[in-house]
Structure 1
């Protein structure tokens, strides 16, 4: 519990962790750890409530369970990471929630340590619940036990105040402790502990906590500066649509009050949960728009008002509220709008009207702000029409060069380019070509120059236009040929689809686009020699038509090949096989060795060297 001594203890534990790779040393390490655990179990409260002892004890728990000692998954997670998980923005969320060590190195020792700590500190349970450092130890212990439901049920029941030794499903929480638990959630340390409890609780326990403890108290807890984080965790881990319906009954009509109180995190959690569970999506969009706008406020203020939530809701006369100058866009407002623009386009028309009505100066200012740039990127990646996207892109015309050298603006420029028509793409490339030297010196510059082929545009603008035109034609042909059925089925099945499936589908589409781009590069180079000699418009048209047919024919061959491969897999793997599933799950246009050889044989090496940008 001494500062210097804690560093020595940490170093010793890290050394033991390194020696775990040697199986012959396990018995010696176990004896050493057992001696340490016995000392801690004899007097756990003092160690847990000490800032240095707490950190050493958390490392010891990780070592016993075979987890990394310095992993943020088991120590205190960053608020930004927690927020990203709750808003479905963290790709590692499913991995984090499913972290379990079914074969810990010293399972009996970790069980002895955790149960011994709780048994020895029963009389000091309230201290452990409300102390900042002991709460961190308990949070680590809970996260390490994910996947071990019996132990989780026993420990969580104790932390909720139950005195029963053998808990029974449906009766984990006595009604006598419900009021006490609600009051404890308003304590800082216990609110953090409760967030983790809701994160790791088995479904049966979560359902009982939802029904017995939190139901009919959600708005009261949401109004509290500490307890509102518990409500966010409860909403973020709602298991099904029925629970979401009960949550909506209590909070659905309170968006304006929550935003006025500064509880925007609760609103964000509700929006993310509706998206994840595919329920109340339209109602969420309507409720948020109604909370920001009113009879006296123009709908044009919806997006700016959400970007500057604190400034907007602190203004008494919102009809005279103006875009604040020199103030950074709030992260929570940015995250809310990013979530909103992932909804179907028919749900978000008020937001589309608002963002397309923004002044050009405000759009530019937002693009230069890291949080604002993410909102513009989310809008350009949404399902709204190309015409509506172009209205926002045009507001940045004349400033693409300025944005490209900006750390956050460069990503916006790339997204604008992807969402633009051929004429707009040429405008963007022209503006970036003017600042090419300055752009190449930035961190993101080389990627942007390569992705948009700025050098190719500068050296051979006609061929660049031909290549971009061929890309757009190929994308259109591809989606009309292969994408329609998938698109229709994905829309029909979206009600049942989870976020992980949506992520894999979008990743598959990205891979397809990359492969089309690669094939188009080789096709454009094939046309390079003859393209430089062509002068008439008729010949250029022939080249464009040839590029289109080459690519469509190539993709059709791949489609037929993939179908044959899938039929072969289905016949070979009639039963559930991991290998069969792996083969069947490969992307539609995954490039094999034969395809690579074919592309190489069709690509003249000399022309490639000469015309490579």
Structure 2
């Protein structure tokens, strides 16, 4: 049975009026009407028998491949009808998944002219995407590269005649993005190329990981087809050139259209020559060639600023700022954003564009200009709920090592009622940022009875604790003054726990760190049962002296059985890492091992020092990992303890009194932290 009883193919999903409006505004050539022929009974029976055969699972792999190839031969000339049939389309997907590359390419070449119509159908879109994904599995084999390139060229030519139907269709746009990814040589399921903002995008903006779209080897899986990519992008631009800005804010097409354009821009990242041609077209600039200082004239600059307050165009502008070549970024900064930063930051869509602008700043001078406009407005931005702008500036300040002190001071002043108010309220108010600024009488604000802390507030604090300690003295005082109950609530919250970890990872003195850790005595077992708390307990153990480590182990020993029965991966890891079973059975031997380890660490740092740049840090981290592999076994530690352990005895007093000494860089958990925590975004760049 067919999907419907109509003999005519009704293309698109936006509605007739919406599609006509898009086509008229783009001056697109009308797509010819295609008659959808009925599938004859004999063909239906044939494909039904194949479907039953596949479901039976009684055929061998080689036999299945032959059946798939024969069935695709039978489908020649009928691809459009079969792919858009509600039932047979599922069988077609199975055939394409099991076919060899020759028949796959034959199928695509045969339906190349009708490919856009198949792709914009609810059922056909799945068939089209399956065909592209199946072809992608053969791209890395050099013997098939030319065959696949010729096939994709035929498909691209079929789309290039009028790509608007695919770009503005909810089904077709997804197929088009898959084709773009295939031509760009990236993973077809990469979320950042399909309009999905992953957690890594936020991590990149907040300087939590050093990677940019187009520059990650993990995303690129083959050389792709750069020539075809440029051709199809040119075809997309050809049909949006006439009135690109108005169509990008059109309610009927803006969402899917801008996602396709975003994907194209991200795939072109690094190709400055092509980007210098594409971006001006999208911005509606009349001058197609980049002439320094003359790309954007005053007549259109204000119009673009207004468009950045539109949902679709603002998303497109974020990507433009991300991939723009340096010369173009500089002109966009000076002509569009300068003297308009606060206006855009105050807008619900424009503030995301400003976040992108700040995240991709190129030099200190740009940060200076941004600070001049937004620095005095820090409190206003937080009151309006635009905390993302502040978080982005903190990250940019760290990355370019400028305006760090001013930024920290402005943020602290923004959450204080008066300059003479105690700094103890700074951390709590940022953790509950939205709750605090909703309070009418801010001087009487108290710790709220809410279950979750403010996400962006916790991200800001994580960034703040990456600054040098002399920049963040009010924040240190605020955290160390917090009561035990409050510290415990922070540690139990997912965002709050990461703030504590950032505090413990910072260059703040060990005395302040252990002052906070000591407040959690008696609660480490409770924290270990919490999904986020396990990481905090591990971090506390790493930076503690021997007496605090023993207190942590004692707390965990009381809940050891409960943690083992929970079978939580991180809880079991924590028990093994801290050797809680060894502590419970032989505390003296456990203590001896800890002393011996600490002695080894002290010798290491005495030999290699503590001041290091990024390259030296990487080299020493490998050295530390080698030392871990050669740490004393239980038998050796027992032998050292029985013979008096001169080296252990020598360092015992140093370990016990280390609470007032300089912090010791953790090396056992630093690497494992990023690997074990699901969704861990990484670490901020160290301040040189």
Change (3 A) 1:510 1:324: farther
Structure 1 distance, partners of 2:561, 2:218, is 47
State the superposition RMSD in angstroms: 2.4
Does the Cα contact within 8 Å between 1:195 and 1:229 map onto a contact in 2? yes
Distance 2:280 2:177 in 1: 21
Superposed, 1:462-501 pairs within 5 Å as 462-484=588-610, 487=611, 490=613, 501=614
Residues 194, 98 of structure 1: alpha-carbon distance in 2 compared, 3 angstrom cutoff: farther
Deviation of 1:544 (Å): 1.7
The equivalent of 2:353 in structure 1 is: 230
Distance 1:14 1:332, change over 3 A: same
Q: Indicate conservation of the 8 Å contact 2:214/2:270, yes or no.
A: no
1:49·1:128 contact (CA, 8 Å) conserved in 2? Answer: no
Alpha-carbon contact 1:65-1:144 (below 8 Å) kept: yes
Give CA-to-partner distance per residue, 1:463-504, whole Å, 9 cap, x none.
2222212222332333233214xx1x64xxxxxxxxxx4xx6
Equivalences for 1:344-493 in 2 at 5 Å? 344-440=468-564, 441-484=567-610, 487=611, 490=613
Kept in 1, the 8 Å contact 2:190–2:219? The answer is: no
Q: Distance in 1 between matches of 2:195 and 2:352?
A: 15
C-alpha change, 1:96 and 1:28, in structure 2 (3 Å) is: closer
Contact 1:235–1:269 (CA<8 Å) still a contact in 2?
A: yes
Correspondent of 2:397 among 265, 274, 286: 274
Q: Is the 8 A contact 2:186 2:222 kept in 1?
A: no
1:518 corresponds, among 623, 629, 636, to 629
**1:325 equivalenced with 2:449 (yes/no):** yes
Which of 54, 70, 78 matches 2:173? 54
1:176 offset after TM fit, Å? 2.3
What CA distance in whole angstroms lies between the structure 2 residues aligned with 1:468 and 1:177?
67
DSSP 3-state at the match of 1:88: coil
**Paired residue secondary structure (1:19):** coil
Give the helix-richer structure, 1 or 2: 1
Please name the residue that 1:343 is paired with.
467
Aligned residue in 2 for 1:211: 334
Q: Which piece of structure 1 moves more, 385-394 or 118-127?
A: 118-127
Listed as ranges, the matches of 1:171-186 within 5 Å are 171-186=294-309
Helix, strand or coil for the counterpart of 1:384?
coil
The answer to whether the Cα contact below 8 Å between 1:48 and 1:133 also exists between their aligned partners in 2 is: yes
> Is the Cα contact below 8 Å between 1:102 and 1:147 reproduced in 2?
no
| Counterpart check, 1:14 vs 2:130 | no
Equivalent residue number for residue 168 of structure 1: 291
Cα distance per residue 1:88-143 (max 9 Å; x no partner): 11354587578997984332222211112211332241354221111001111011
Cα deviation per residue 1:547-603 (whole Å; 9 max; x = unaligned)? 99xxxxxxxxxxxxxxxxxxxxxxxxxxxxxxxxxxxxxx9xxxxxxxxxxxxxxxx
1:519-543 deviations in Å (ceiling 9; x for gaps)? 3324x63242463xx4xxxx54536
How many Å apart are 1:517 and its aligned residue?
Answer: 3.3
Deviation at 1:293, TM superposition (A): 1.1
User: Structure 1 residues 168 and 56 mapped into 2: Cα distance closer, same or farther (>3 Å)?
Assistant: same
- Does the residue aligned with 1:252 lie in a helix, a strand or coil? helix
Aligned residue for 1:80?
199
Distance 1:510 1:99 in 2: 23
The reply to whether residue 107 of structure 1 matches residue 211 of structure 2 is no
Q: Which moved more, 1:455-464 or 1:18-27?
A: 18-27
Structure-2-length-normalised TM-score: 0.73
In structure 2, the partner of 1:528 is 638
Structure 1, unmatched stretches of 5+, are 491-500, 549-586, 588-613
Give the stretch that moved more between structures: 336-345 or 84-93: 84-93
Q: Which runs of 4+ in 1 moved over 4 A?
A: 91-104, 504-510, 545-548
What pairs with 1:218-257 in structure 2 (closer than 5 Å)? Answer: 218-257=341-380
CA change 1:299–1:408 in 2 (3 A) is: same
Q: CA deviation at 1:32?
A: 2.9
Against the structure 1 CA distance between its residues 101 and 370, is the aligned structure 2 distance closer, same or farther, given a 3 Å change threshold?
A: closer
- Report the number of matched residues: 527
Shift of 1:453: 1.6
* Greater displacement, 202-211 / 27-36: 27-36
Deviation of 1:462 after TM superposition, in Å, equals 1.4
Deviation of 1:180 after TM superposition, in Å, equals 1.2
| 1:542 aligned onto 2:646 | yes
Return the offset for 1:360.
0.8
Change (3 A) 1:101 1:155: farther
Cα 1:54–1:317 shift into 2, 3 Å: same
Distance 2:599 2:272 in 1: 54
Partners of 1:333 and 1:231 lie apart in 2 by: 18
Q: Counterparts in 2 of 1:120-159, with a 5 A limit?
A: 120-130=239-249, 131-159=254-282
Q: Conserved in 1, the CA contact under 8 Å of 2:541 and 2:552?
A: yes
Query: Is the partner of 2:296 in helix, strand or coil?
Result: coil
Distance verdict in 2 for CA 1:542–1:102, change over 3 Å: closer
Show structure 2 runs of 5+ residues with no match: 1-119, 653-666, 668-688
CA distance in 1, matches of 2:199, 2:390: 17
Structure 1 pair 529–166 and aligned structure 2 pair: CA distance change class (3 A):
closer
Cα distance in 2 between the residues matched to 1:471 and 1:352:
29
Distance in 1 (alpha carbons) for counterparts of 2:450 and 2:441 = 21
CA offsets 1:178-223 (integer angstroms, 9 cap, x no match): 1111011001011010000000001010011111111111011000
State how far apart, in whole Å, the 1-side matches of 2:532 and 2:212 are. Answer: 24
Structure-2 change in CA distance of 1:417 and 1:284 (3 Å):
same
